[in-house]
Structure 1
Amino acid sequence: MGPATKRNHSNPGVRCVTRVRVAAIGAGNWGRNHVRNLATLPEADLVAICDKSDQRRAALQRQYPGVHVTGDCDEALDSAEAAVIATPAGSHAAMAIQAIERGLPVLVEKPFALSVREAESVAELAEKKGVPVVTGHLLLFHPVVERLKQLIDSRDLGDLYYLYSQRVNLGQVRPDENALWSFGPHDVAVALDLLGSTPVRVTAQGKSYLQPGIEDVVFMNLDFASGVMTHVQLSWLDPHKERRLTVVGSQKMVVFDDMQSREKLKIYDKGVDRPPDYSSYGESLSVREGDIAIPRVPNVEPLAAELRHFLAVARGAEESRTPAADGVAVVRVLEAASQSLVEGGVAVDLSPH
């Protein structure tokens, strides 16, 4: 089932695409942001909201009186041409399969699934049915990440050395997933996108302080075949709220600080220069201190950009920028990190065999 079209009567040869009828499945802490955007985007016609909470459904019905609000997923999907899945993480795969079986384009929030097996089952069904999937890797639609990707692809930073990110704050503590699965999809997705490859080795260490078996803090390392190393710090038990990514290259260094209201991206023209024939330490190495550039970046809400892209995909106007295969790739890294966590930080090999 695809979005309906209608004739432009002033120019009968032009067919205009009507708004895509969308069902929002899940309207909790993050799902309500999808609902808010879908209710206001001109490309979307929010026809149904599904949520299991009686209290939330009552509030949603008051807020969106023209939208069908229900606790039954099948009922919500009946009138839809596309679906956004923002339910608890453990149900993402099952809800996605339910929508794909109906032939509905689907946006699946992160994490795409909680195991590689589940993620692959979603991807395989979508390919079999010919149904487009957008994985909810939100930061790939952030204008700063898009600019950073351009800087790396153009080699403006020189050879990449390493990346490290911090995604920490105090709360919200989740009872159903650890800090790795709650926060990690963001940073893993960004690393894979920026580097254009998947890691060959993953290690992770963490501790459970508040709830048995649910890590509140995780330190993860990803090693890539190119020699680039990525370090990720994740925690909801930290005095600071940090959302920062640092990229170090041979020519320039970049910091993306998402907690800044305006100057989110800074490019440092600094590094250590060495001649090509360098062989021993000494005066051949010289520290270079240059200017700091703060480029102008569009002030775009990443979630609105992601949803606009999804609606274009649902209409057949664009190819998915974050297809199911991307969801599988990120889940594979997270699953390897989970294995490393359980085994006390041992390296898990992800190199192709």
Structure 2
Amino acid sequence: MIKVAVVGCGYWGPNLIRNFYENPSCKVDYCCDMDNSKVEKVLRKYPSIRGTNDFDDLLSSAETDAIAIATPASTHYEMAKKALEAGKHILVEKPLSLTTEESEKLNELAEKKNLILMVGHTFEYNPAVRKLKEILNTTDVGKALYMYSARLNLGVFRDDVNVMWNLAPHDISIFLYLIEEFPIAVSAIGKSFVRNKLEDVVFMYLEFPSGIIAHLHISCLDPSKIRKTTIVCERKMIIYDDLDNEGRIKIYDKGFETTLATDGGIQDYIIRPRAGDIYIPKIDNSEPLRIETEHFIECIEKGEKPLTDGLNGIRVVNVLETAESSLREGGTIKKTQWMKWKF
């Protein structure tokens, strides 16, 4: 049985602990946090788990096979590096690190030591996002033309990263997963309205080799909680709303029809809007994090590469790092090394 430790018992860590604890193929061996009150809260609910404030206890434990890292993004690289050096498989919450160079080093170290490195891009395990990919690949919606997403809320503010590094990994990973392309150009603009130097509102632009363009609106300074993605295709249009429990995906039979008309011997094309039915496909209600954590354990057991492996994490970090460079230069469009990271 795989024994897992979780470091970080604040917002996301308890969700990881719950899912690992309920998985019969593994056992939660340790929970760790610098805040002892958070550790004690976990232990009251799961008294069989060992608790500690010292990350080194997890590294030195001969019984611990894997470590899930759910700490602030600025700590990911050092903690992941130490865990791999200690011979532990790792699941790192997004983003993998704060630089492409650091992410590449982690991936190389995991491969060298033959260990599983998986990144917590949870939406790639979301049944709705997987259904969205199926729709794009197997139905008559046509080729995707452009897409845009909004991930908005009032709070939470992170102390170590801006809203782009905190929230945009979700939408970047969704876009890359859906179209299986790496962007050739990236730009970003944003503002710090609440805190100095850490943007709370960011707008990102991505351009892909096939001609698809994408826009991301990310904010922790908004009156409404919104988690929505729109994809406009050649023949139909799709809206994925992660907060709509009755219809998370809606396919709109909308578009334009072009006909050739002759008037007085002169031919010209007439473009008319077309509107048809709205179709709501059935979506599996399985918890994405349950699917993700089960996949992590299965990859360890079978020695298989995860869906969201180190390369997956590097791609997302590289987009973020390129966007950060654009952000510092007032929105300059940055060309990427897309050939290096292409699918």
With the length of structure 1 as denominator, give the TM-score of the two structures: 0.90
Q: What code does the residue aligned with 1:300 have?
A: S
Kept in 2, the 8 Å contact 1:309–1:318? The answer is no
Tell me whether 114-123 or 231-240 shows the greater mean CA deviation: 114-123
The one of 342, 346, 353 equivalent to 2:328 is 342
Question: Which whole-Å CA distance do the structure 1 matches of 2:267 and 2:9 have between them?
Answer: 59
Q: Which residue of 1 aligns with 2:155?
A: 171
Contact kept in structure 1, 2:182 and 2:338, CA below 8 Å = no
- Gapped regions of structure 2 (runs ≥ 5): 261-265
Runs of 4+ in structure 1 displaced over 3 angstroms?
280-283
Instruction: Summarize deviations over 1:186-227 as a string: whole Å, max 9, x none.
Output: 000011111101100001000001110000000000001111
Q: Partners of 1:318 and 1:124 in 2: how far apart? A: 16
What is the aligned partner in structure 2 of residue 319 from structure 1?
305
In the alignment, does 2:165 pair up with 1:181?
Answer: yes
Alignment of 1:309 with 2:291, yes or no, is: no
Does 152-161 or 171-180 show the bigger shift?
152-161
- Equivalent position to 1:257, from 241, 264, 267: 241
Within the candidate set 23, 26, 38, 2:5 is matched to: 23
Residue 201 of structure 2, aligned match among 211, 217, 238? 217
2:44 counterpart of 1:44: no
Please list the CA deviations of residues 133-174 of structure 1 after superposition, one character each: whole Å capped at 9, or x if unmatched: 111100000001001111222253211110100000101111
* Structure 2 residue 98 is the aligned partner of structure 1 residue 114: yes
DSSP 3-state at the match of 2:216: strand
Q: Which residue of 1 aligns with 2:44?
A: 62
Deviates more, 1:230-239 or 1:23-32: 23-32
> Aligned to 1:285, what secondary structure does the other structure show?
strand
Q: Deviations over 1:225-259 (max 9, x none)?
A: 11100000000000010000011100111111011
In structure 2, C-alpha distance between the alignment counterparts of 1:319 and 1:305, rounded to whole Å: 15
* Residue pairs, 1:147-166, within 5 angstroms: 147-154=131-138, 156-166=140-150
Identity of aligned residues (%): 39
| Amino acid in the other structure paired with 1:168 | L
What is the one-letter code of the residue matched to 2:136? I
Q: In the superposition, relative to structure 1, how do residues 186 and 282 fare at CA in structure 2: closer, same or farther (>3 Å)?
A: farther
Structure-2 separation of matches of 1:343 and 1:250: 35
Identify the residue that residue 248 of structure 1 maps to in structure 2.
232
Superposed CA deviations along residues 267-315 of structure 1, whole A, max 9, x for unmatched, are: 1111112369xxx996532222111100111101111111011110111
Amino acid at match of 1:196: E
| TM superposition shift of 1:322 | 0.8
SS of the residue aligned with 1:274?
strand
Aligned to 1:3: none
**Partners in 2 of 1:345 and 1:243 — Cα distance?**
24
Q: Give the aligned partner of residue 141 of structure 1.
A: 125
**Contact kept in structure 2, 1:201 and 1:351, CA below 8 Å:** no
Structure 1's 88 and 159: CA in aligned 2 closer, same or farther, altered over 3 A? same
| Aligned residue among 91, 98, 113 for 1:129 | 113
Q: Distance in 1 between matches of 2:150 and 2:94?
A: 18
Structure 1 residue 80: Cα displacement:
1.0
* Unmatched segments (≥5 aa) in structure 1: 1-18
Residue 41 of structure 1 aligns to which amino acid in structure 2? N
CA apart distance, 1:26: 1.2
- RMSD of aligned Cα (Å): 1.9
| C-alpha distance in structure 1 between counterparts of 2:250 and 2:303, whole Å | 34
Q: Secondary structure at the match of 1:84?
A: strand
> TM-score scaled to structure 2, two decimals?
0.93
Cα deviation for residue 60 of structure 1 reads: 2.1
